[in-house]
Amino acid sequence: MRIDGLQYANWSEKIFRQMREGGVDAVHVTIAYHETFRETVLNFERWNRWFEQYPDLIMKGLWASDVDHARATDRTAIFFGFQNPSPIEDDIGLVEILRTLGARFMQLTYNNQSLLATGCYEDYDAGLTRMGRQVIREMNRVGLVVDMSHSGDRSTIESADHSERPIAITHANPHDWMPALRNKRDDVIRAVTQNGGMLGFSLYPHHLKDKSACTLDSFCEMIAHTAEKFGAEHLGIGSDLCQDQPDSVVEWMRVGRWTKEIDYGEGSAIAPGFPPQPDWFRDNRDFGNIENGLRAVGMNDTEIAGIMGGNWYRFFSENFGPQS
Amino acid sequence: MRIDGLQYANWSEKIFRQMREGGVDAVHVTIAYHETFRETVLNFERWNRWFEQYPDLIMKGLWASDVDHARATDRTAIFFGFQNPSPIEDDIGLVEILRTLGARFMQLTYNNQSLLATGCYEDYDAGLTRMGRQVIREMNRVGLVVDMSHSGDRSTIESADHSERPIAITHANPHDWMPALRNKRDDVIRAVTQNGGMLGFSLYPHHLKDKSACTLDSFCEMIAHTAEKFGAEHLGIGSDLCQDQPDSVVEWMRVGRWTKEIDYGEGSAIAPGFPPQPDWFRDNRDFGNIENGLRAVGMNDTEIAGIMGGNWYRFFSENFGPQS
């Protein structure tokens, strides 16, 4: 079973076919960065069209059992998430509405301060806001997973502790392997995993040691090391693949409507676009390389099966239903 | 089994308890008259709060099986509908979105011309519009029932014929019994029922012979007569109960934002509010009176069970799922 904990591609039949070629049974896809509620609904509508148009390749994913159904029918189950809480605007009632429409993950911040928490690019992280605490409780109640991939350390640790259900960092790597602003320090990973949460390893070059030149061996050694520290059962892949996106979309992700100036995120003025993927992970067809790489660094079959999909599957099965 | 095909009350714990007292297993409730998409979502949100607040009295209804579940747990299943297509605005993609949120009925018009069809108060009914034909196909596809209670005759007949699935007139009576503008002529009822559709009998006094003074016997004789003409299996109740609503809501229903002048609908300047209910049907507690009345006019147990709920149940089970 192969499950990818995060992608944001410029979706097309080509990519849907590559997912089948790579044996990707399920993927959590981002459908909002800075979108309002109504704009997010337009993105749900676009996916509804794709489900209607490509019924042999993809299906809507709502529950862990949909991963089984997708596998049995040779398709990829698409699970929805937001990288920012902008879709709920200032209305806590939209948490349940969006979860009913199919949302299964929501980041509390995307780099910047939000109404809920502090993003990882702010100078000072003041932790969860009043609304943030209320929204986490509501997300817990309905079964919408808190994702802190783009949040500050304090906000992430407070969320892991405040949440009554496990939370996730769907796409990031350990900071001590590659000290990128978006990668996570040990105490952050510990706060998330010790409460049953998940860390998905990113393949976005800015998150990789030596970036695009990162070796498969280095990536897999890092995973094995993280497994020793925090337990292999809390780990998965969250590739952060942003395939075929034009630069205008990269700009939307980084800038939205919050500034009139250009913000380069993890890029820079001289390299504003997406860096090239490492040659051993070009796109969805290359998940097998990671599986082989994990074997080569000495991980066992159970650990590998968990990291490639089994752990996300268990996490989906425990966290997408209403709170019991 | 008792199912009411339409209500629009000023909902409260009192009314939820009256529904239990009257043995109402399910009710189709109106949650939009002139609301935009976002305003309609606020109404879904309000119901989500009520479901959270009164879990022992009500539950969200999505499928016919929810009626069984409500009966088994002594609750009322609430099914949602709109009396106007305003919630989809000009966006056919919102049909599936709203159906996913729980909508199960949508009128194509509310008295006036809409983007889809002509309302029953317009001078001339030009029939289905270009968008109207597309939206019916989409409603058919996803499982959202076309309701023509407030539409013109031609629009209704064209809808019954264009729709690939049965449609409904959830709340109206035969025009030859009570010649109200909203009551339906035989050729309209025939177009709907001969395609498997349903007619729900209204208890709104303006739709009753002698209005508030209508007798139970006259109402039940009318039902028996309609059953002989069109078949008892196509008939149900759609009480149109608008309990405890303040006059401001009556005004919203009639006027929305489409005019600056007052429109009295079926009322008049000297009687602008809701007329009193007949004494044998004050509210949800009185469904038993109708059942007794149908027996008194000689209908048999099978026919009565169908009209009181069994026919709506069958209609729900056949029309709320995606098109096969």
pLDDT tens, B36-49?
A: 999 999 999 999 99
pLDDT tens per residue, range B309-324? 999 999 999 999 999 8
Residue B265 has pLDDT above 80, yes or no: no
B94 touches chain A (CB under 8 A): yes
Give the pLDDT of residue A198. Answer: 98
What span, in angstroms and rounded, lies between the C-alpha atoms of B171 and B236?
9
| pLDDT recorded at residue B14 | 98
Residue B295: count other Cβ atoms within 10 Å of its Cβ.
14
Q: Is it the case that residue A199 has pLDDT exceeding 90? A: yes
Judge: A97–B49 Cβ closer than 8 Å, yes or no: no
* A48 and chain B in contact, CB less than 8 A: yes
Smallest Cβ distance to A97: which of B41, B91, B94?
A: B41
Q: What percent of chain B has pLDDT over 90?
A: 92
Please name the residues in contact with B215: beta carbons below 8 A apart, sequence gap of 6 or more: B278, B280
Task: Say if B286 is an interface residue toward chain A (CB within 8 Å).
Answer: no
pLDDT at A84: 97
Residue of B49, B93, B101 with shortest CB distance to A101: B101
Superfamily of domain B3-319: Metal-dependent hydrolases (3.20.20.140)
Instruction: Tell me what ipTM this predicted complex has.
Output: 0.91
Banded model confidence at residue A265, pLDDT cuts 50, 70, 90? confident
Distance from the Cα of B43 to chain A's closest Cα (Å) equals 10
The model's pLDDT over A52-83, given as tens digits with 9 standing for 90+, comes to: 999 999 999 999 999 999 999 999 999 999 99
Res B194 pLDDT > 90? yes
Using a CB–CB cutoff of 8 Å, tell me whether A275 touches chain B. Answer: no
Between B246 and B279, the higher pLDDT residue: B279
How sure is the predictor about B270, in pLDDT bands with cuts at 50, 70 and 90?
Answer: confident
Q: What is the Cα–Cα distance from A52 to A56, expressed in whole angstroms?
A: 10
Share of chain A above pLDDT 70, in %: 100
Structure token pair of residue B220: 């039940």
- What pLDDT is attached to residue A273? 74
Amino acid code (one letter) for A289: N
The enclosing H or E element of B199 equals: strand B198-201
Reported as a single tens digit per residue, the pLDDT across A207-230 is 999 999 999 999 999 999 999 999
Range B204-209 average pLDDT = 96
Residues of B in contact with A100 (CB under 8 A): 100-102
B267 to A180, A273, B149: CA distances (angstroms): 69, 65, 17
Contacts of B96 in chain A (CB under 8 A): 45, 48
**B91 interface with A at CB cutoff 8 Å:** yes
Q: Give residue A274's pLDDT.
A: 79
Q: Do B97 and A45 touch (CB under 8 A)?
A: yes
Distance CA A143, CA A141 (A): 6
- Distance in Å, alpha carbon of B61 to nearest chain A alpha carbon: 14
Q: Which of A48, A94, A102 shows the shortest C-beta gap to B93? A: A48
Residue of A nearest to B92 (CA): A45
**pLDDT tens digit sequence for A143-198:** 999 999 999 999 999 999 999 999 999 999 999 999 999 999 999 999 999 999 99
Name the DSSP letter for residue A208: S
Q: How high is the pLDDT of residue B264?
A: 78
Radius of gyration of chain B (CA): 18
Nearest to B93 among A37, A45, A91 (CB): A45
Averaged pLDDT, B223-231: 98
- With beta carbons under 8 A apart, name residues in chain A contacting B101: 97, 100-101
* A91 interface with B at CB cutoff 8 Å: yes
A93 touches chain B (CB under 8 A): yes
A98: number of Cβ within 10 Å: 27
Q: Are B97 and A101 within 8 A, CB to CB?
A: yes
Percent of chain A at pLDDT exceeding 90? 92
pLDDT (mean) for B61-85: 98
Tell me whether B44 touches chain A (CB under 8 Å).
yes
Identity of the residue numbered B48: N
Instruction: Inform me whether the C-beta atom of residue B296 falls under 8 Å from chain A C-beta atoms.
Output: no
* CA A58 – CA A281 distance, rounded (Å): 22
B121 CB-side CA count, 13 A: 13
**% of chain B beyond a pLDDT of 70:** 100
Asked whether the beta carbons of residue B38 and residue A38 sit closer than 8 angstroms, the reply is: yes
Residues of A in contact with B46 (CB under 8 A): 93
CA atoms within 13 A on the CB side of B205: 20
> Which pLDDT does position B274 carry in this prediction?
79
Chain A interface disruption, residue of B39, B60, B90, B96, most A CBs within 10 A = B96
A67 and A26 Cβ atoms separated by less than 8 Å = yes
Whether B49 sits inside 8 A of A91 (CB atoms) is: no
Q: Range with the lowest mean pLDDT among A63-77, A111-125, B266-280?
A: B266-280
Is A249 at the interface with chain B, CB within 8 A?
A: no
Residue B108 pLDDT > 80: yes
Q: By the CB < 8 Å criterion, does B48 face chain A? A: yes
Tokens representing residue A267 in the block? 């890029």
Q: Spell out the domain ranges in chain B.
A: 3-319
pLDDT at position B278: 97
